[in-house]
Structure 1
Amino acid sequence: MAARISELVLSCREPEVLARFWCEVLDFVVLDREDDGSVEIGPREGFGGAQPTIILSRQDEPVKGTSRLHIDVNPTDRDQDAELERLLGLGARPADVGQTGDEPWHVLADPEGNEFCLLKARLNPL
């Protein structure tokens, strides 16, 4: 028997802002809102499917240092350049983590500065 990832938790100052951003990026919907301000987003079919949900957990003070986990995304219905333009239009911004410029991926940051990568391969939608 094995385990699988069911949820990713991302601490942030403004869960609603990041929920809107990541819902647009991933074609997710808001699944739940908690009294503490946390927002859970995920695929339209809800929790427990092929993709993990993301819990955006309210935290007033950002954690110091570099995150040891980041999200990689792949385009599903367009090429990497078109997806890059779409993500920048949603509020992502380029991030420099020491890449050379020769990588086949783009390093970006969400509206709160959480780094993620846009990979080149186009994946089939689930």
Structure 2
Amino acid sequence: MACRISELVLECRDPEVLARFWCEVLDFVVLDREDGEMVEIGPREGFGGPQPTIILSRRDEPEKAKPRLHIDVNATDRDQDAELDRLLKLGARPADVGQTGEEGWHVLADPEGNEFCLLKARLAPL
């Protein structure tokens, strides 16, 4: 039997700010919180469903090095351009990681600067 990803943990300065952002991006809800130190967000069915939850854990000084893991997202109910507009309105901003402009994805940063990519393909909602 294989393992499966159940949670992703992201260290950040302000878990509440990032929880609001990522809940809007992913249509997640807050599942748990601990006095400003941690907020867990995930799908409405909660932990153990088909998607992993995300734990936003307070750390006053997140690592300065480039993370070795980033999140990719795909729109489920609109095309890539419309989703890009929505994400920018939520507080994402374009990030330059050396892309050429010919890629089929957009590199963005969340409100704390964590990079993520908006891919072109539309996925069916869960």
TM-score class, shorter-chain normalisation, is over 0.9
**Deviations for 1:14-69, whole angstroms, at most 9, x for unmatched residues?**
00000000000000000000246200000000000000000000000120210100
Contact 2:15–2:36 (CA under 8 A) maintained in structure 1: no
Corresponding residue for 1:104?
Answer: 104
Letter in 1 for 2:78: R
Measured on the aligned residues, the alpha-carbon RMSD in Å equals: 0.7
TM-score normalised over the length of structure 2:
0.98
Corresponding residue for 2:14?
Answer: 14
Letter in 2 for 1:2: A
TM-score normalised over the length of structure 1:
0.98
Which stretches of structure 1, 4 residues or longer, exceed 3 Å deviation after superposition? none
Structure 1: gaps spanning 5 or more residues: none
Q: What is the aligned-residue identity percentage?
A: 86
SS at match of 1:25: helix
SS at match of 2:54: strand
Q: How many residues align?
A: 126
Corresponding residue for 1:29?
Answer: 29
**Deviations for 1:103-125, whole angstroms, at most 9, x for unmatched residues?**
00000000000000000000000
SS at match of 1:40: strand
**Deviations for 1:81-116, whole angstroms, at most 9, x for unmatched residues?**
000000000000000001110000000000000000
Find the aligned partners of 1:38 and 1:78 in 2 and give their Cα distance. Answer: 32
Letter in 2 for 1:104: G
